Each structure stands twice: as structure tokens, then as C-alpha cells.
Amino acid sequence: MIKDYNYYLRIERAMSQNTVASYCSDASKFLKHYGGDIHLASADDIISYLNTLSGLSERTQARVLSSLRSFFDWLTLEGMIKENPCDRVEGPKIGKYIPDVLSEEEVDRIISSVDTQGWLGLRDKAILEVLYGCGLRVSEASDLKVSDIFLKEGFVRVVGKGDKERLVPIGDMALEAVEAYLDARPLASESNTVFINRYGNRLSRMSIFKLVKKQTLAAGIAKDISPHTFRHSFATHLLEKGADLRAVQEMLGHENLKTTEIYTHIETGTWHRNILTHHPRK
């Protein structure tokens, strides 16, 4: 059943590999917990399972419910059940998510902390510059191809969620870092993947996570930073400098403008703190 559901998500819904893996994992865990005839699963069964996740954050619980709703929607579509039991389950109340961001000075400190003596250092710097300078997701950076970089035109072609392509402008500093790395790296003619490890294989998402953690520590920044923080920070800085919201939406590959609007809340929060810091009657 999960195999067929996986096929549906990948082929018919054209979801990304990571999303498919997450949805299928959530569905598999529910089926293992439930253990009964799936045709008889009720809203009470869903609620009972969600109660076992009470130790997790409300946002995680909401994500699991969303996964299960998708799974039962598929069962309904396939005619295995008549209605989706998740439709009668109220999700946890969660506040608007405001992601952490770095200041421009902090971004510079992290990138400047990289030792660029060897080609691996040049690679690490290029990764950080691309994460920030193009606002890429970590999976997009990991999967980036040499043939997707248009140096003269100043664009990179990115394959995002659902295998949807978009063209993203790349800034001068990121371009310089990528060019320096590509000129220095070994095995350049044998791999179309931009960011490779010392063995010539594609650098994994986890390796990029570790790189970000290492350089954040080296820069002396006491924040819980991930590759996605660079994406959040980039979008926030663009809007702070007056970039058009829809242009930022296109660059980030957001389907819904509301997803991009979260950065206007961050910008407002920054403005609010700035005013209060310099307020004559604080």
C-alpha cells in the first residue's frame, strides 16, 4: 500500500523526494500504530495516534496530521474508503512561524571564517555564498549542476520542489566564489555536480548542514543556524532593501505568496526593535 502511495505522490502529484519520504514515513508509522483494518479507521483513531505524539511540537503534530490527511485522501481517491476520517479532526493551534535570521554582518563573519587555502575551503565558501546569495534550499544546493550555472548571464537554474525549474540571479560575490572553486577543484571534468566531496561524489545535504554548523561556531555566533537560515536571511535582507515581494517569491520558488509574506513580518519586527532602541521615551 505504501509503495503505491509513494508512486502516486512521485508521479501523479510530482512531489519532491524529501516530501514523498516524509509523507510515506508518517503514513507508515500510523499504520504500524493502528494495526487494524485501514477501511475502518475513524477520526478517533487519528486523534488517539496524535495523542501519542504529545511530546512533539504542535507544528510537528500539525505536519503529521497533514501527511495523514493526504494519505486518506489517496485512499478515498482509490475507492478504498468512502470518506477521509482526518476531515473530522481539528489540528493543533499553532502561531505564525517567524524563522530566525542573521544580520548582514553575521553572514559576512560566517563566510569570512572559512579557510580558503585549499580547494575544499574554496568549495565551502562557495556553498555559503550560494546558500545566501541565491536563497537556495539545502537540497537545491546539493543537487546543483555545473551546466545549471550561467556565469556570463549571472543566473543559476534551480530544480526545486516538485521538480519545478526556476532561474535565480546570482550576485557578484557568489559568482566569484563559485568560479574560484570550479577552477581549483579536482575531477572537474568528471562530474557535472557542482559541490563534490574529496572523492568526487555529490556533497550530501547532511555534509552541508555540518559545514554551516562548523563555520557558525568558527565565527563565534551563538545562534542555532542551519542552511535554511541563510535562505531566510537573504529574503529578509532583500525586502529590507526594498525588493518587490513577488520578485522574492519567484526567486525563492514559493507557490503561494503567503509563504513569502512571512518575511514581511520579520522585516516589521526588525523595524520595531530598531525604533524602540532609539526611542527618545523608551
Please provide the DSSP assignment of 205-257 as one string. HHHHHHHHHHHHHHTT--S---HHHHHHHHHHHHHHTT--HHHHHHHHT-SSH
Q: Is 33 one of the annotated active-site residues of the chain?
A: no
Of 176, 160, 177, which is closest to residue 168 (Cα–Cα)?
160
| Residue matched to cell numbers 568526487 | 200
pLDDT confidence bin for 271, thresholds 50/70/90: very low
Contacts 24+ apart (CB under 8 A), 119-125: 119/181, 119/184, 119/185, 119/186, 120/198, 122/177, 122/180, 122/181, 122/184, 122/185, 123/181, 123/185, 123/195, 123/196, 123/203, 124/211, 124/215, 125/177, 125/180, 125/181
pTM for this prediction: 0.60
* Beta bridge partner(s), residue 168: 156
CB 153 within 8 Å of CB 169:
no
Give the CATH superfamily of 2-88.
Tyrosine recombinase, N-terminal domain (1.10.150.130)
Question: What's residue 276's pLDDT?
Answer: 41
Longest CA pairwise span in the chain (Å): 67
Question: What's residue 257's pLDDT?
Answer: 52
Which is catalytic among the residues 5, 23, 132, 263?
263
Question: What's residue 158's pLDDT?
Answer: 81
Mean residue pLDDT of the chain comes to: 81
Q: Which residue has the higher pLDDT, 1 or 246?
A: 1
Question: What's residue 258's pLDDT?
Answer: 58
Which is catalytic among the residues 137, 185, 232, 237?
137
Q: Which ranges of the chain does DSSP label H, i.e. alpha helix?
A: 2-7, 17-34, 43-51, 58-77, 104-112, 119-133, 138-142, 172-184, 205-218, 227-240, 245-252, 257-277
Q: Is 123 one of the annotated active-site residues of the chain?
A: no
Question: What's residue 273's pLDDT?
Answer: 46
Q: Is 278 one of the annotated active-site residues of the chain?
A: no
State whether residue 148 is helix, strand or coil: helix
Q: Is 161 one of the annotated active-site residues of the chain?
A: yes
Q: Which residue has the higher pLDDT, 75 or 188?
A: 75
Which stretch of 86-90, 159-163, 169-173, 202-206 has the lowest confidence by average pLDDT? 159-163
Which is catalytic among the residues 123, 125, 237, 254?
254
Which is catalytic among the residues 185, 231, 232, 237?
231
Q: Which residue has the higher pLDDT, 82 or 235?
A: 82
For residue 210, pLDDT over 50 is answered with: yes
Average pLDDT over residues 116-129: 94
Which is catalytic among the residues 145, 202, 228, 265?
228
Q: Is 137 one of the annotated active-site residues of the chain?
A: yes
Where, residue-wise, is CATH 1.10.443.10 in the chain?
104-277
pLDDT confidence bin for 25, thresholds 50/70/90: very high
Question: What's residue 19's pLDDT?
Answer: 86
Which is catalytic among the residues 29, 157, 161, 265?
161
Where, residue-wise, is CATH 1.10.150.130 in the chain?
2-88
| Per-residue cell: 10 | 512521485
For residue 272, pLDDT over 50 is answered with: no
For residue 111, pLDDT over 80 is answered with: yes
Average pLDDT over residues 48-71: 87
For residue 263, pLDDT over 80 is answered with: no
Q: Which fold has domain 104-277?
A: hpI Integrase; Chain A (1.10.443)
Q: Is 263 one of the annotated active-site residues of the chain?
A: yes
